[in-house]
Amino acid sequence: MGGVTSTWVEPSNTATALLLLGRGSDPATERGVECPGDLPAPSDPGLVARAAAAKAALGTKVFVLGHHYQRDEVIQFADVTGDSFKLAREAAARPDAEYIVFCGVHFMAESADILTSDRQRVILPDLAAGCSMADMAVLSQVETAWDVLTELGIAEQTVPVTYMNSSADIKGFVGRHGGVVCTSSNAKRALDWAYQQGSKVLFLPDQHLGRNTAVQELGFSLDDCVLYDPHKPNGGLTPEQLRDAKMILWRGHCSVHGRFTLDSVNDVRERVPGVNVLVHPECRHEVVTAADFVGSTEYIIKTIEAAPAGSAWAVGTELNLVRRLALAHPDKQIMFLDRAVCYCSTMNRIDLPHLVWALEELVAGRVVNQITVDPDTARHARAALDQMLALPGA
């Protein structure tokens, strides 16, 4: 099986505590994680100065990417901020940068490695910064699902489409089977292309983005979509359901966006008269249909920037971004959609101590936490990514 290099160690009595500190490994995940080395103390008052000094010492050899959901303490050192695909493309556009330090999560660093040159090395400051959604689609499970479709005689008419928020293994699978990668902003274009190639789509790994795009933008009915559960025989579906479906949705979701409910929307409308509800398409279908505006992370940012002074906005996406938008636009009332705050716990693994450690190790000539996708997987994943870039209007 293709994939990403990682180190496995036996768990100990302190494994959970160490994992919470960003060290150790979790053998229960598809991918073991290990973060060796001594991290600076989180309370070190000199962390900001140390990060600035290390980055300055590396100069143009290092390029730091910061996802929108990162902590403010980390985002201040990013050369570029953006969503996952924008950042991967930015990395590829910097061929002179020897080191790409990706402040995001694992699948994002994999995409950067796929799109950058062999001489560039992609570094993830904490290997425990994964993505629960991406880990909900494991290659062996997807291959089993494809076998089910093959046995039913419908694999040939099915086009696999995977969200950018998926592992390199899954992107490679999609590339091998003539499919395409999509983002939350171009999912409709990707699906339009897919339905020109076949009559069905297997959409991985986020059921909500797939369902919302199919119903809200392509005009499908909810009955055209079925939910494939990899933990049940035949996905928990009958042969007739699979044969009749236009959209076969993988049972995956975002742990942050999936927490928003219709009650959240109704509650904020009662509390804040005239509020605009703005949500990400990874939210549940009933939340998306009840919202006023729906779009990608970049869309959310641009919508808030263009909003008139005095307007009120309840935003259904990761809290770090919502807080940053509120601070940047004090003339507008910007709030988190849910009463209970929710950070992306894995995205928040990248903190200032990990960033300082990674940068200082590079200054010392030691490359840590390098993300490497094997050549065969990278080749097929690149084909699926290139197909996305070739979409009309891309």
Binding positions for iminosuccinate: 67, 84, 163-165, 184, 280-282, 297
Q: Give the C-alpha separation, 30 to 42, whole Å.
A: 29
Nearest-10 crossing angle of helices 106-115, 84-92: 30
Task: Please name the residue ranges forming H helices in 329-389.
Answer: 352-363, 375-389
* Distance (Å, whole) CA 142 – CA 69: 28
Query: What three-state secondary structure class fits 298?
Result: helix
Q: Is the dihedral of CA 141, 144, 149, 152 positive or negative?
A: negative
**Token pair recorded at residue 98:** 């020897």
Supply 219's token pair: 């005009």
Cα–Cα dist 60/46, whole Å? 23
Q: Number of C-alpha atoms within 13 angstroms, CB side, residue 259?
A: 16
* Segment (H or E) for 65: strand 62-67
Known binding positions: 67, 84, 131, 163-165, 184, 254, 280-282, 297, 344
Coil, helix or strand at residue 296:
coil
Dihedral-angle region of residue 101 (phi above 0 means left; psi in -120 to 50 means alpha; beta otherwise): beta
Cβ distance 149 to 242 under 8 Å? yes
Residues in binding site for [4Fe-4S] cluster = 131, 254, 344
